[in-house]
Structure 1
């Protein structure tokens, strides 16, 4: 009797693990040949078909500036700022992080951040926006189909401030 009771309590938990998905975002920040290079601020989010934000995954900015001065420039991530940033209280726990140098970077997110377990099946976009002081601003959208569970992937590339951007859901 005890075994069947504990099994009955465990099955709902196990089924929840089966639908939880890990999301990986790989993005390239190209090395630019400019006189004064500043690491770009980067926002990464999942966008619904109506272009509203389903989940903010990451906001990378100068988190170590005195008196939160780095937050002043987050609004240069204009698209993210208009859609989700102006209502956010920075730093966002588990989402905010330091800027990254030129190179290829991979960020991994669990279901608590992504919200994939709450998204209905459908077509979505991973959006990566980069803005650099004394430089440009670029937005890359990576379409992906989410069936509510399982795997999904997609990739796209920017032209100046961003290189290749890829999403993988396991």
Structure 2
């Protein structure tokens, strides 16, 4: 009986995992030589015809309410103001460096991926690309912008 329960549970987890799509997003936050440097806010989200889904959000987590989230303009208009960002995708701001984040997009298979980076007393960068899990393209490359270095996106399952 226990072996059957373990087998059924394993099949259920395998079934769920088989439908979950992931993306690995590799990017760099550049270093700036300014006296008053502020770590940037970073938002990564997916927009499809059916839904918008926040995948990553780095912001000030010291306060319950972060009044500066509205500065991530596109993300705020599409997702943030509705207040349904799951806690598991949020984290504190990070300084200059290279980052690699694996993001769970669930069952989304065709969508636009957006990456928005905003820095107080700095600039704003918004990068986007269509992602389609039904095609053979495994990697996507986005050119660097003022607040973010070149981005590589790798599809996974």
TM-score normalised by L of structure 2: 0.81
How many residue pairs align between the two structures?
Answer: 156
Contact 1:142 1:166 in 2 (8 A): no
Match of 1:85 among 55, 80, 85: 80
How far off is 1:5 after superposition? 9.2
SS of residue paired to 2:129: strand
Q: Distance in 1 between matches of 2:87 and 2:130?
A: 26
Equivalence for 1:61: 59
Q: Distance in 2 between matches of 1:132 and 1:32?
A: 11
SS of residue paired to 1:81: helix
Contact 2:42 2:115 in 1 (8 A): yes
Give the CA RMSD over aligned residues: 3.0
Contact 1:128 1:140 in 2 (8 A): yes
Equivalence for 2:70: 75
More helix by share: 1
Q: Distance in 2 between matches of 1:39 and 1:80?
A: 18
Equivalence for 1:100: 94
How far off is 1:75 after superposition? 0.5
